[in-house]
Amino acid sequence: MHGSRRPRPGRKRADRYHHGDLSRALVQEAVRTIQARGIAHLTLRGVGNRLGVSQTALYRHFADKDALLGAVAAEGFRRLEADTRDAWTSQGGGREGLAAMGTAYVRFALTHPSHYRVMFGAALDEHPPHSELAAAGTAAFQVLVDAIIALQTADLMRRDDPLLLARYVWATVHGIAMLGIDGRVDAESLMSFANERMPTGTAP
Amino acid sequence: MHGSRRPRPGRKRADRYHHGDLSRALVQEAVRTIQARGIAHLTLRGVGNRLGVSQTALYRHFADKDALLGAVAAEGFRRLEADTRDAWTSQGGGREGLAAMGTAYVRFALTHPSHYRVMFGAALDEHPPHSELAAAGTAAFQVLVDAIIALQTADLMRRDDPLLLARYVWATVHGIAMLGIDGRVDAESLMSFANERMPTGTAP
DNA sequence: ACCTGAACACCGTTCAAGT
DNA sequence: ACCTGAACACCGTTCAAGT
């Protein structure tokens, strides 16, 4: 009888996962582990065991550890996109909206430092561009591009190439976030300074 | 007789190293490995074997792998400091000097991507601040602070808190360098754009 | 179609022993 | 004071076998 084997206590049973579910569960558990204990403690064995699944079940869904990390990174870009878009709309756009986006971006990085590191980590550039990851990263970046175009249309920002402006703003905010994660600067206050200065440099 | 034991071909003999030399050789070999093959290929066993020394000889000089990486990072900051200082003086200071510093900084990161990642990697913030590393990082940052103070004295830059300005400039250049390493932007051209825009935002 | 269990080749680190 | 060699506990990955 297929119901007679008792699941180990405190663990989900392997047969709870049907098509697509284990894949999602693996990414979720990896994100949870990274957030709680850091990248160094992420092991495929640990992820599998915590889900009540064998250490190698993962290989049905991901080519290797780096592929799992790619999915983790993609998930991070989706959350970052949601946070920055919410920040923009919560202010009704405008310069306040752009400033709120920067603050939200930095806050995401500071509250999810390990996840953020995976999103921009070395593990990704050693492999061919992962389509899901590339799409998630592009979508997150597009929120900033759209914001800049809206500001230009409203004559609130200098009419340089919006892509170039977006990359410049992104680099600044990314640098602040990274140095903040490293504990080298107070990222929140430095982002405030940037929000005061950046419009001066980019206004028409 | 101490000269009777033949060294293995192609390897340096262990007794070639006297006090302090093996420590330096280990860091050099680690830097070489990282530059040539990436962080993922850096193993303590490999470093030792390539120096003709046992896999565990390293533990006389470094507490663990992270301590070795800390020394590698410190060495990176020393080289970065030299490069940016040379760039500043080669232009005789001024705004051209600051722009040259930014270009030199980005170029260092792009030509030594793995080394640069170690300098700002996750391995460092899980441990108590390494004194040699902290000193090297501070010295590299101080070059930028001194440049900004010189610009302010010459009335070429707005008289904000120089430390805050330096952190802001650093974050921008660091972000450009990081995104460049990730292959997400063309760092050299973005740095050119920043060199045109940043003075506008920070001039008096 | 999806998962398991054993096995393989590695790796960081410890420690008693050597010189 | 510095280094070696064997050993330990881990890890990613492969693969034949199960259902």
Can you tell me the distance from the alpha carbon of B67 to that of B20, in angstroms, rounded to the nearest whole number? 16
**Is the distance from CB of A60 to CB of A122 less than 8 angstroms?**
no
**Is the distance from CB of A181 to CB of A117 less than 8 angstroms?**
yes
**Is the distance from CB of A196 to CB of B201 less than 8 angstroms?**
no
Query: Which positions of chain C lie under 7 Å from any protein Cβ?
Result: 1-6, 10-15
3-class DSSP assignment, residue A6:
coil
3-class DSSP assignment, residue B124:
helix
Reading the block at residue B103, the tokens are 């270009």
Closest nucleotide to B13: CA versus each C1': D3
* pLDDT band with cut points at 50, 70 and 90 for residue A2: very low
Q: What is the pLDDT of residue A6?
A: 31
Q: What is the pLDDT of residue B123?
A: 72
- Closest-CA distance of chain B to residue A22, Å: 28
* pLDDT band with cut points at 50, 70 and 90 for residue B16: low
Encode pLDDT of B125-161 as tens digits.
Answer: 666 667 889 899 999 999 999 999 999 999 999 899 9
* pLDDT band with cut points at 50, 70 and 90 for residue B4: very low
* pLDDT band with cut points at 50, 70 and 90 for residue B12: very low
CB B43 within 7 Å, strand C:
yes
Closest nucleotide to B58: CA versus each C1': D3
Sign (positive/negative) of CA torsion A15, A19, A21, A24? positive
Count the neighbouring beta carbons within 10 Å of the beta carbon of residue B37.
Answer: 12
Say if residue A147's pLDDT is above 70. yes
Using an 8 Å CB-CB cutoff, list residues of chain A that contact chain B: 38-40, 114, 117, 120, 122, 124-126, 137, 164, 167-168, 170-176, 178-179, 181-185, 190, 193-194, 197-198, 200-202
- DSSP character for B18? -
pTM for this predicted structure: 0.91
Across the interface, whether the CB atoms of A173 and B168 are under 8 A apart is answered no
Encode pLDDT of A52-92 as tens digits.
Answer: 999 999 999 999 999 999 999 999 999 999 999 999 999 99
Q: Transcribe A150-183 into DSSP letters.
A: HHHHTT-S--S-HHHHHHHHHHHHHHHHHHHHTT
Which among B40, B122, B179 has the least Cβ separation from residue A171? B179
* pLDDT band with cut points at 50, 70 and 90 for residue B199: low
Encode pLDDT of B82-118 as tens digits.
Answer: 999 999 999 999 999 999 999 999 999 999 999 999 9
Give A204 or A70, the one with higher predicted confidence. Answer: A70
Across the interface, whether the CB atoms of A40 and B122 are under 8 A apart is answered yes
C-alpha distances in angstroms, B32 versus A13, A19, B35, B112? Answer: 48, 46, 5, 10
Say if residue B181's pLDDT is above 90. yes
Burial of residue A111 (CB within 10 Å: 0-12, 13-18, 19+) is: exposed
Can you tell me the distance from the alpha carbon of B113 to that of B83, in angstroms, rounded to the nearest whole number? 15
Q: Transcribe B43-97 into DSSP letters.
A: -HHHHHHHTTS-TTGGGGT-SSHHHHHHHHHHHHHHHHHHHHHHHHHHTTSHHHH
Closest nucleotide to A41: CA versus each C1': D11
Tell me the average pLDDT of chain A.
88
Can you tell me the distance from the alpha carbon of A162 to that of A151, in angstroms, rounded to the nearest whole number? 10
Count the neighbouring beta carbons within 10 Å of the beta carbon of residue A16.
Answer: 13
Can you tell me the distance from the alpha carbon of B131 to that of B70, in angstroms, rounded to the nearest whole number? 10
Reading the block at residue B41, the tokens are 């290929």
